[in-house]
Amino acid sequence: MTSSAPARSTATRAPTRGSIQVERLTCSIGAELGGVSLADAARADALFAEIKALLLKHRVLFLRDQDITRADHVALARRWGELEDHPIAGSDPDHPGLVRIYRDLSSPPEHYENSYHCDATWREAPPMACVLRCVETPEVGGDTIWVNMVEAYNRLPEHIKQRIAGLRARHSLEATFGGTMPMEKRRALRASYPDAEHPVVRTHPETGEKILFVNAFTTHFVNFHTPDNVRVGQDFAPGASHLLSYLISQAAIPELQVRFRWKKNSVAIWDNRCTQHYAVQDYWPAVRKMERATIIGEAPC
Ligand code: SIN
């Protein structure tokens, strides 16, 4: 099958202007950095500035052998901004903001994450970025996939771009994480974390790029209907759910993705505004332990 996407250069390993070695991992998204310690980057302005610029360029960065302390992990993430905890996954008691994503025999595999999503878009101001470190990984399996959602938007047919311009959508914690809870707990979750509404196409606040911004937390469009296209009582949502499914399915296109094989002390840093990710759920009953610092973002527009 031919592609209408513009041709790009192949992956290269070349020094940046600074000290960091950068190897692009696919033509669309992701680079592995070498010759850098994140503990140093947490303290050195110039090194951090280089990493920040590389993140905007590659959208997800990978580093190996980062045997850093939890304090350094938090300190690095804090250079981007304040951190947030997660209402369901607990945080390290000594390091608030460092969310534990631990999977072992006590977690039923059907509760593992296995859908393409941006983190916490059910918040009014979803996270801008995350720093995830691997503490323990299965011998095989447990990879994570990231997707370039700027490219997902760019590749949409023109008539779809026109149809979704100005559309807004609802994002829900209750409809997703709440799905495994008894009804009472689910209602309480919704009361504490009400649904959020975001544009279907957001603009990256730093690069100005347009981003397709619907994911597994998105339940429906809120302004698809107009007095002209609603037929109350017959077909309440003509075409809306089909269009939403189509948009959500764009994240599964392999040409937009990079897949990362974890090792202990590997770190991934991603821009949560313009990527989605999927933690592959193929390793149960093996243990997988990850720790994530989640940096508070701004309301999408
Ligand atoms: C996440 O969804 O933020 C965690 C991804 C992972 O565990 O690989």
Residue 63 is assigned to a structural domain of this protein: yes
Q: What are phi and psi of 233, to 5 degrees?
A: 90, -15
To test ligand 1's pocket by mutation, which of 131, 292, 295 has the most ligand atoms within 8 angstroms of CB? 292
8 Å CB contact between 44 and 51: no
Write down the residue that tokens 């938007």 correspond to.
153
Q: Where are the alpha helices (DSSP H) in the chain?
A: 38-41, 45-58, 70-78, 149-154, 158-164, 183-192, 240-249
Are both 290 and 275 inside the same structural domain? yes
Specify the pLDDT at position 227: 72
In contact, 274 and 126? CB cutoff 8 Å: no
Atom of ligand 1 nearest to the CA of 294: 3
Confirm or reject: Cβ of 144 under 6 Å from ligand 1. Answer: yes
The pLDDT of residue 242 is 92
Query: If you write DSSP's letter for every residue of 241-252 in order, what string do you get?
Result: HHHHHHHHHGGG
Q: How many domains, in total, are found in the chain?
A: 2
pLDDT of the residue at 206: 98
DSSP string, 52-120: HHHHHHHSEEEES-----HHHHHHHHHTT--B---SSS-B-TTSTTEEEEEESTTS-GGGS--S-B-TT
Among 212, 177, 211, 208, residue whose Cα is nearest residue 192: 177
268 with 238, same domain: the answer is no
- Is residue 139 located within the same domain as residue 128? yes
CA dist 299 to 13, 45, 206, 253, Å? 36, 27, 13, 27
pLDDT at 13: 43
113 in contact with ligand 1, CB cutoff 6 A: yes
What local confidence, expressed as pLDDT, does residue 9 receive?
39
Domain span at 172: 149-207+214-251
Per DSSP, 19 falls in state S
- Per-residue confidence (pLDDT) for residue 111, from 0 to 100: 61
**Cα–Cα distance for residue pair 111/208, rounded to 1 Å:** 36
Is 119's C-beta closer than 6 angstroms to any atom of ligand 1?
yes
Question: Does the CB atom of residue 32 touch ligand 1 within 6 A?
Answer: no
In a shared domain, residues 17 and 67: yes
Q: Which atom of ligand 1 is nearest to the CA of 117?
A: 2
**In a domain? residue 1:** no
DSSP assignment letter at 254: G
CATH of the domain at 227: 3.60.130.10
pLDDT at 18: 61
**Cβ–Cβ contacts within 10 Å for residue 264, how many?**
14
Is residue 90 domain-shared with residue 235, that is, in the same domain?
no
Strands 275-279 and 13-15: unpaired
What is the DSSP code (8-state) at residue 235? B
Task: Answer yes or no: is 241 within a domain.
Answer: yes
Q: Is 2 part of any domain? A: no
Domain co-membership, 123 together with 161: no
pLDDT score of 89? 87
Pairing of strands 168-171, 196-199: antiparallel
Mean pLDDT, consecutive 10-residue stretches, the chain (301 aa), reads 39 53 98 97 96 98 98 98 92 93 80 84 98 97 97 98 96 90 94 97 98 97 80 65 96 98 98 97 92 98 98
Beta-strand relationship, 31-34 and 21-24: antiparallel
Cβ partners under 8 Å of residue 84, min gap 6 = 97, 120, 127, 294, 295, 296
From the CA atom positions of the chain, what is the Rg in Å?
A: 20
Q: Label the pairing between strands 168-171 and 144-148.
A: unpaired
Question: Could you tell me if 88 and 231 lie in one domain?
Answer: no
111: CA distance to ligand 1 center in Å? 13
